[in-house]
Amino acid sequence: MAQYIMSLDQGTTGSRCIIFSLDGALKAAQSMEYPLFYPRPGWVEQDPYDILTSQLSVAKKAVETAEIEWSEIAALGITNQRETTILWDRKTGKPVSNAIVWQCRRTAEDCAKLKENGLEATIRQKTGLLCDPYFSATKIKWLLDNIEGLRQRAQRGEILFGTVDTWLIWNLSGGKIHATDYTNASRTMLFNIHTLSWDEELLRLFDIPPEILPTVQPSCSFFGMTDASVLGAALPISGVAGDQQAALFGQCCFEEGELKNTYGTGGFLLMNTGTSPVNASGGLLTTVACDVEGKVHYALEGSIFICGAVIQWIRDGLGLISSASESEEVAKVAPDNGGVYLVPAFVGLGAPYWDPYARGAIFGLTRSSNKHHIVRAAIESMAYQTYEVISAMESACGIKISSLKVDGGAAKNDLLLQFQSDILDIEVVRPYCFETTALGAAYLAGLATGLYKNTEEIRMLAQKSNIFRSNMSDVDRKKLIAGWHNAVHRTLNYDIYEKTD
Ligand code: ADP
């Protein structure tokens, strides 16, 4: 009988379900969008029931379109948007409020106070994270402080906390399992990444009752069975990981020094640093990666705030192209950047600068500059930003990287990937299957249930890919990088108005 793995990929704007056959081929995919709510400027929420019902609905549709029986699915993997925070009633399963989404800035002041009180170093040392509203801890505290009677109910053990994976596992198991995995736990700012346990000192600091916390276990392990009445069959939930860590695993970055970049709306670079954490600085984070052959791995993570979004901006903001894919042919008309650099610091800059006051700019314009140069400069900006994060990672861990694996919407752009390879002077590898996040969760689930023997077997499955190799002289590379540095430094610390507000 055929065997398949189902992967639930729960993202910020929608739910996806992908069914893979054991050779990693995509059998069926279904997705559904659902709304985000913005109740006040800077606040972002979601209805936990939207998350759940959309996820269940795409799972059922995927089985229909695959034309298979539920009994043919041998394992279930879950991957999800990270940090988003949900609290619910242990007895009724009813959420106490909307989910607070990772993007929500409502606790910015709380984080600023923690920094003023000199607590950032402790948080950094224990969790590998920067003190930022992005992570779950201050979101949980906000709910406990702002919903009447909630803290007392939590102390009485009536309330449960979960990131989106935990919320799904709880509901899929019919309210039996309250669990998360190391990768998701490592994004809460409450989890000690060295001891791999909830940190008592941080729980005291954020005034969070330990009773609400889920149990934590490796990504590649058995979490429990789904309740047959929820999905249509009792399936083993056996792979769980946050989206970026799942993509790292789906790209087969199992060993120290292997890294991937996802060129989505933003850019997410993760590098496997092996079985011990590397101290991060300059906007890089240290985080837990999926376990490999029973051993916990760590990763360095760097985010680029505006990656593919720069292409949306030249399409919608400037009207220079009519679709994202057109960017490549428009850029190709110019043989090079003609000295033009576009720094897309629209919302400040992420790693390695971490400067909220940087603002975007186009530099090097002359009378001969034209739209082709600007579109090319936009594409190249994704590559320069990636180059800078990789350089920061190389110096943090003293490893020279030799290959970069890529995915995400903008990785369809050959011009970008060729230029990326030229600027980094390493090979850039694009897999044929772009669904690396869902694939990562499927691999984890398949490994934990014995469908795959080991990661070596998985590596053999994933061999098909496009490889881009550097074709640029050292002199040209150095010149271009110097031009980018010149441009980017002129955008730093720019927004004096926001600073004086
Ligand atoms: P996310 O999951 O973050 O929403 P995706 O991985 O779907 O994003 O990628 C979407 C991004 O990729 C958009 O910002 C879009 O501008 C960009 N993009 C899509 N196709 C291309 C292309 N051919 N060239 C350059 N950028 C592209």
pLDDT tens by residue, the chain, 501 residues: 669 999 999 988 889 999 999 998 999 999 998 888 889 888 889 999 999 999 999 999 999 999 999 999 999 999 999 999 999 999 999 999 999 998 888 888 898 899 999 999 999 999 999 888 889 999 999 999 999 999 999 999 999 999 999 999 999 999 999 999 999 999 999 999 999 999 999 999 999 999 999 999 999 999 999 999 998 889 999 999 999 999 999 999 999 999 999 998 889 999 999 999 998 887 899 999 999 989 999 999 999 989 999 999 999 999 999 999 999 999 999 999 999 999 999 888 888 988 878 889 999 999 999 999 999 999 999 999 999 999 999 999 888 898 999 999 899 999 999 999 999 999 999 998 888 999 999 999 999 999 999 999 999 887 678 999 999 999 999 999 999 999 999 999 887 665 555
Q: How many CA atoms lie within 13 A of 345 on its CB side?
A: 29
Distance, in Å, from the CA atom of 296 to the CA atom of 275, rounded to the nearest integer, reads 6
Atom of ligand 1 nearest to the CA of 13: 4
Helix ranges, 43-98 (H): 48-66
Q: Give yes or no for a contact between 58 and 16, defined as CB atoms under 8 angstroms apart.
A: yes
Q: How far is the CA of 324 from the centre of ligand 1 (A)?
A: 7
Q: How far is the CA of 218 from the centre of ligand 1 (A)?
A: 31
pTM value? 0.92
Q: Which residues neighbour 55 within 8 Å (Cβ) at sequence distance 6 or greater?
A: 8, 10, 15, 17, 168
Distance, in Å, from the CA atom of 181 to the CA atom of 347, rounded to the nearest integer, reads 31
Dihedrals phi, psi of 212, to nearest 5 degrees: -85, -10
Report residues whose beta carbon is within 6 angstroms of any ligand 1 atom. Answer: 264-265, 308-309, 311-312, 324-325, 327-328, 408-410, 412-413
Q: How far is the CA of 265 from the centre of ligand 1 (A)?
A: 6
Find residue 407's DSSP bridge partners. Answer: 262
- Over the stretch 126-182, which tens digit does the pLDDT of each residue have? 999 988 888 999 999 999 999 999 999 999 999 999 999 999 999 999 999 999 999
Atom of ligand 1 nearest to the CA of 379: 25
Q: Which of 6, 65, 46 is nearest to 167 (CA)?
A: 46
Helix ranges, 186-322 (H): 200-205, 228-231, 243-250, 309-312
Q: Which residues neighbour 249 within 8 Å (Cβ) at sequence distance 6 or greater?
A: 219, 241, 289, 290, 440, 443, 444
Q: How far is the CA of 277 from the centre of ligand 1 (A)?
A: 31
- Nearest residue (by CA) to ligand 1, atom 18, is 410
Mutate to test the pocket of ligand 1, among 413, 416, 430, 437 (most ligand atoms within 8 A of CB): 413
Q: How far is the CA of 329 from the centre of ligand 1 (A)?
A: 16
Q: Which of 81, 83, 90, 91 is nearest to 50 (CA)?
A: 81
Give whole-number Cα distances, 317 to 130, 155, 310, 346, in Å: 32, 50, 9, 12
Q: How far is the CA of 139 from the centre of ligand 1 (A)?
A: 29
Strands, DSSP E only, in 222-346? 224-225, 236-242, 259-263, 267-274, 285-292, 295-304, 341-343
For the chain, the maximum distance between any two Cα atoms, rounded to a whole number of angstroms, is 71
Q: Give yes or no for a contact between 471 and 418, defined as CB atoms under 8 angstroms apart.
A: yes
Mutate to test the pocket of ligand 1, among 79, 244, 263, 311 (most ligand atoms within 8 A of CB): 311
Q: How far is the CA of 312 from the centre of ligand 1 (A)?
A: 8
Length of the chain: 501
Distance, in Å, from the CA atom of 71 to the CA atom of 336, rounded to the nearest integer, reads 55
Q: Give yes or no for a contact between 223 and 169, defined as CB atoms under 8 angstroms apart.
A: yes
Mutate to test the pocket of ligand 1, among 307, 412, 420 (most ligand atoms within 8 A of CB): 412
